């Protein structure tokens, strides 16, 4: 019998066989002895029995794992056999312990108290379990709470003995993991109250919230909305797996075994004191959290955000891309416009926190003053020039240049730096009228001083228009008008046949007006009158020459005709 047991694992024997073996050993070797651990070997323990080093306990006959024993430990053992050749006994701790452990399991079955054990592995219909390190038992799958294919729980578990039946060949023991869990869960839910505070460990984190392990059997959920008063914070920004947390119970559903928890409700709601901390009209600093088409949101403190509507961003009728002004994460100053504590909303103003630049506009800018500006918009009717942020004025096309302006783009370009003269300021309507041409000296004053009707000037034809041509007068920087009727002696059907752009010629001034009070300045020139003057001059010269010749049978008129014909032939 001893050899048979020594060659087999006790789990392959029935409990009846084990008990019979124990009885036989008891009769031959005594019931139990106290042994002291002398040394720890790879396959068991060398022990001292009755003062002599003559015992060996194989690892398979130990109650605990080999690594849990220490030299000097006292253990109760049963002598299994004596090896006469080696002069030592083979002993078993498990044989002594087994009967006691089996009795504990039976008592646990009767009392309903838990008994500890470990799950050895999966078998048909369930799992093999070892109770109190020595007593084999069966755990049905339906009583395990373990999903098929999932890892088997490691380490000691608490089982409830739901069946303990003695048979001829042993004892049939069936245990349950879920029975005690259900009882514990039920008891936990019965004791749990809404509004109470509990502690737990973050078990897993999802986008919708964080699961908190409250006990070995109970898990609660912190919804994402209950993590922080700051709605922009994600669950992962606040919590990590393994964190120990104290949370408030906000809802309990015993039937569905669900518990809703809150982390933020253990902190003061910032909206409770928002009116005292941020009164209407105060200027505060915050962080830009997001930019939307209708404005941007600013966080004043975690959980307190407000909207700066697009109408509260810029002064005046300004339409700019918000992302050119600010970026997410920027710190900005805003003014509290309105507080709705019930709806938890703030209305904020970015522009009022900066101050209205038009409040003291008449102190900063004077009518008649020449100032620097930047062209921000070119229009068919003129240009908008910005003097400073949110302060701009309009330059009408009539004030673009001292000369005729066909296209505004020919005078200024967007983003170009210019000097302008302030013509008027309308503070109430936030308007300013500017002049580019008056920021420079009036060239027509020199024209008025030095030129008059009948004078001859030279210039270059710069462009052709339907009614004539525009001439840039040399030395004065002003433009004169050449009517189509004054281009040649005869009627011209097509101007391009008579004159060319870029052609440099001499002209006669036939009209000159300078009236700065009425803002009238113009010059009209003529090629035709120049030719007529030249012809008249030549005629007068010819008359003078002919009148000095000797008498002839020809009349003076005939002589003049003959003279002109000769000159004409010569020119030809």
Q: Do 18 and 92 share a structural domain?
A: yes
> Final residue of a domain: which of 286, 318, 353?
353
What pLDDT shows up at residue 541? 82
Question: Is residue 7's pLDDT more than 50?
Answer: no
Least confident of 105-109, 518-522, 547-551: 547-551
Give the confidence band of 4 by pLDDT, cuts at 50, 70, 90: very low
Residue 146 lies in a domain: yes
Q: Do 400 and 340 share a structural domain?
A: no
What pLDDT shows up at residue 76? 86
Residue 103 lies in a domain: no
Q: Do 160 and 147 share a structural domain?
A: yes
Range(s) of the domain holding residue 405: 361-439
Q: Do 276 and 205 share a structural domain?
A: no
What percentage of residues in the chain have a pLDDT greater than 70? 89
> Final residue of a domain: which of 266, 281, 298?
266
What would the 3-class secondary structure string for 68-130 be?
Answer: HCCCCCEEEEEEEEEECCCCEEEEEHHHHHHHHHHHHHHHHHHHCCCEEEEEEEEECCEEEEE
Residue 555 lies in a domain: yes
Residue 138 lies in a domain: yes
Q: Do 238 and 206 share a structural domain?
A: yes
Residue bearing the bigger pLDDT, 526 or 15: 526
How many CA atoms lie within 13 Å of 502's alpha carbon, on the beta-carbon side?
Answer: 0
Q: Do 556 and 513 share a structural domain?
A: no
Residue 366 lies in a domain: yes
* pLDDT 10s digits, 331-369: 999 999 999 988 999 999 999 898 888 888 988 999 999
What pLDDT shows up at residue 554? 56
DSSP codes joined into one string, 501-527: TT-EEEEEEEEEEEEGGGTEEEEEEES
DSSP letter for 398, please.
G
pTM over cut 0.85: no
Q: Do 340 and 412 share a structural domain?
A: no
Q: Do 317 and 230 share a structural domain?
A: no
* pLDDT 10s digits, 430-461: 899 999 999 999 999 999 999 999 999 999 99
Q: What angle do CA 174, 177, 179 make, to 5 degrees?
A: 90
CATH number at residue 421: 2.40.50.140
Q: Do 143 and 74 share a structural domain?
A: no
Residue 468 lies in a domain: yes
Least confident of 278-292, 396-410, 553-567: 553-567
Count how many domains the chain has: 7
What pLDDT shows up at residue 470? 94
Residue 66 lies in a domain: yes
* pLDDT 10s digits, 406-434: 889 989 999 999 999 999 999 988 899 99
Q: Do 447 and 435 share a structural domain?
A: no
Residue 104 lies in a domain: no
What pLDDT shows up at residue 249? 94
Q: Do 166 and 84 share a structural domain?
A: no
Question: Is residue 17's pLDDT more than 60?
Answer: no
b/e code 527-540 from CB counts within 10 Å (16+ = b)? bbbbeeeeeeeeee
Please, are residues 283 and 292 in contact by the beta-carbon 8 Å criterion? no
> Final residue of a domain: which of 334, 353, 372?
353
Q: Do 374 and 349 share a structural domain?
A: no
């Amino acid at each position: 019998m001893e050899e048979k047991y020594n060659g087999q694992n006790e789990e392959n024997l029935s409990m009846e066989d084990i008990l019979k073996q124990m009885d036989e050993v008891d009769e031959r070797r005594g019931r139990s002895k106290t042994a002291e651990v002398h040394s720890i070997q790879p396959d068991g323990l060398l022990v001292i029995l009755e003062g002599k080093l003559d015992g060996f306990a194989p690892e398979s006959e130990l109650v605990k794992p080999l690594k849990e024993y220490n030299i000097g430990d006292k253990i109760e053992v049963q002598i299994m056999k004596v090896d006469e050749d080696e002069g030592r006994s083979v002993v078993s701790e498990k044989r002594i312990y087994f009967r006691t452990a089996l009795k504990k399991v039976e008592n646990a079955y009767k009392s309903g108290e838990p008994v500890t054990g470990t799950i050895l592995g999966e078998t048909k219909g369930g799992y093999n379990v070892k109770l109190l390190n020595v007593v084999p038992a069966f755990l049905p799958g339906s009583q395990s709470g373990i999903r098929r294919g999932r890892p088997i729980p490691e380490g000691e578990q608490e089982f409830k003995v739901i069946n303990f039946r003695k048979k001829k060949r042993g004892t049939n023991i069936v245990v349950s993991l879920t029975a005690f869990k259900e009882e514990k869960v039920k008891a936990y839910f019965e004791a749990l109250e809404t509004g109470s505070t509990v502690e737990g460990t973050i078990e897993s984190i999802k986008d919708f919230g964080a699961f908190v392990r409250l006990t070995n059997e109970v898990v609660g959920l912190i919804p994402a909305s209950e993590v922080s008063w700051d709605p922009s914070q994600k669950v992962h920004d606040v919590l990590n797996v393994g964190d120990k947390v104290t949370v408030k119970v906000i809802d309990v559903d015993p039937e569905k075994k669900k518990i809703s928890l809150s982390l933020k409700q253990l902190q003061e709601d910032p909206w409770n004191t928002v009116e005292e901390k941020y009164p209407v009209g105060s200027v505060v600093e915050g962080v830009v959290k997001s930019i939307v088409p209708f404005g941007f949101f600013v966080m004043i403190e975690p959980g307190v955000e407000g909207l700066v509507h697009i109408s509260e961003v810029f002064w005046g009728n300004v339409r700019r891309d918000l992302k050119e002004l600010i970026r997410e994460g920027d710190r900005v100053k805003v003014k509290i416009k309105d507080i709705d504590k019930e709806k938890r909303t703030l209305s904020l103003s970015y522009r009022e926190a900066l101050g209205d630049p038009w409040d003291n506009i008449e102190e900063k800018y004077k009518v008649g003053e020449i100032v620097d500006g930047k062209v921000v918009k070119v229009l068919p009717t003129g240009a908008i020039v910005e003097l400073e942020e949110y302060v701009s004025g309009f330059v009408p096309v009539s004030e673009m240049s001292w000369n005729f302006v066909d296209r505004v783009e020919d005078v200024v370009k967007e983003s170009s730096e210019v000097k302008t003269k302030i013509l008027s300021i309308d503070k109430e309507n936030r308007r300013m009228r500017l002049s580019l041409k008056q920021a420079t000296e009036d060239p027509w004053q020199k024209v008025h001083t030095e030129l008059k009707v009948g004078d001859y000037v030279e210039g270059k034809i710069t462009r052709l228009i339907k009614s004539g041509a525009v001439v840039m007068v040399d030395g004065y920087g002003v433009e004169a008008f050449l009517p189509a009727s004054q281009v040649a002696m005869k009627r011209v059907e097509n101007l391009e046949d008579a004159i060319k752009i870029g052609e440099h010629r001499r002209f006669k001034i036939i009209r000159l007006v300078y009236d700065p009070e009425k803002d009238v300045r113009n010059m009209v020139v003529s090629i035709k009158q120049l030719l007529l003057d030249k012809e008249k001059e030549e005629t007068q010269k010819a008359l003078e020459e002919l009148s000095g010749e000797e008498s002839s049978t020809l009349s003076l008129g005939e002589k003049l005709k003959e003279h002109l014909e000769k000159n004409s032939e010569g020119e030809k």
